[in-house]
Each structure stands twice: as structure tokens, then as C-alpha cells.
A = this chain, B = another copy of it.
Amino acid sequence: MPILDLSPGDQTLTLTGDVTLAEVYAALPPGLYPPFAPVELPGGVGGLVSRGGFGQTFFFGAEVLGVALRTRSGRVVRAGGRTVKNVQGYDLTRPFVGSFGALGEALELTLRLRPGLSARHVAGPGTLAQLPAHAPRFAWEQEGELHLWHFGHAREVEALTGELLARPGARIVEGLGDLSPLFPGGLGVGEDGPARDRRFGWVPGGATPPVPALFERLAASL
């Protein structure tokens, strides 16, 4: 479960799929952020990428620069690379991200890191439906509360999370949260579970959206 390469200069992080989200946060220097909120989830970084992220409001696929995956036929395939420049067409990284394991298992991943001078995690009463168009980087519902997490310039962080924080009952969340106990058996897609983001409702267990027939053929070809 090692972190294979951390390059603050290139702002990239290469690791095996089983590294946990907490291990990434522990390894990063101050002011550099991965494409996930400081919340532990089942399945490590490999699971997160396989599900297409959690709670983000941006295009998660662009933050995964490269992947080495074991396909269903047992072949080990590399796509993308360790730098932003490696995205040059013939892109097998993107269909892997969010494919819920249909194309195979991530052995190694390279993530883009982004800088931020300030960061804040706010939880309070509210729903995703009330979010303004210019949303924080991360927004999700968890056990009846709205969670917002943003990093960037201090003024931007204040602008995007301040309104929620001003609501009665809202609070700043410090440190790393742990959602794993809410999802015994893994993190699956479904309704009426303990969490929801803009893409999916999330439930305990391994339920995935149905795989389209065409994608199934693609997966079988690799």
C-alpha cells in the first residue's frame, strides 16, 4: 500500500490503489490537496477512482492523470502518465475512471494535486438542491446534513462556505472524517442511504449502476 511518488513541483501523486484517503492526507505537504475531501471512505483511492470520486462538483476524470490497471483478462495496461501533458488522445484513463470496476482493477494511479492557501470544511442544515451555481469544490449530504469543503484563497473559501456556516446548528469540521462505518461491505450506489452527492445516492454494499451492453463489449476487449 505504498505511495510511489509525490512530486510537489509537478503537483502529482502516484500510488497503489489500496492506499487509503487518510494516508494521502497524512503524506501531503501543507497547501497541496488531492481531488477528494478529508473524509475516509471504503476501498481506498483505487475504490474512489473506480466510483468516479465522491462529492466533487468539478470533472473528476481530469484529475486522474494516469492509471495502470489489470483488465478482466488479466492483462496489465497502462494509460495516461505522470504529468498533465501525457493526455494526448487515445485516452483509456477516462473510461476507467467511474467505471465501477467494469474495465478492471487499478494497480497504480497518478492523481493531480492542486494548491490552496486556505481550506474549510463546514457541516450544517441544508440540501444539495439549495446550492448556488458557483459551488464549493466538494458538496455532499451526509446523515441529514449538508457538507461543504473548499480550498483556495481565503476570501473564496469564506465566500463559498460562509453562508452555510451562518445557519443555526452549522459548524466547522476539523481533521479527517470517517464515513467507513456508515458503509459496511463497501460503498455502493442506491437510494435512501446515509450519503448523497450530485451524481449518486450512496448506500452500504457493493451495488453499482447497470453496465451498458456497449461498455461490456469494450471491457471484454481489453
Contacts and interface: CB of A to CB of B under 8 A. Distances in A.
Interface of A: 51-52, 59, 61-62, 77, 85, 87-92, 94-95, 97-100, 102, 198-200, 209, 211-212, 214-215, 217-218, 220-222
A161 B176 CA distance: 40
A52 B211 CA distance: 26
Given A62-B62, A94-B95, A95-B94, A88 B209 contact: yes
A94 to B, nearest CB: 3
B89 A100 contact: yes
A222 B217 contact: yes
B100 A212 contact: no
A95 B98 contact: no
Contacts of A89: 51-52, 98-100, 209
Contacts of A214: 77, 92, 222
A199 to B, nearest CB: 6
B218 A94 contact: no
18 contacts: A59-B59, A61-B62, A61-B87, A62-B62, A85-B198, A87-B199, A88-B199, A90-B99, A91-B95, A91-B98, A92-B95, A92-B214, A94-B94, A94-B95, A214-B222, A217-B222, A218-B221, A218-B222
Contact of A94 (B51, B91, B209, B221): B91
Given A85-B198, A217-B222, A218-B222, A211 B90 contact: yes
Contacts of A77: 214
B221 A217 contact: yes
A215 B91 CA distance: 8
Nearest to A63: B59
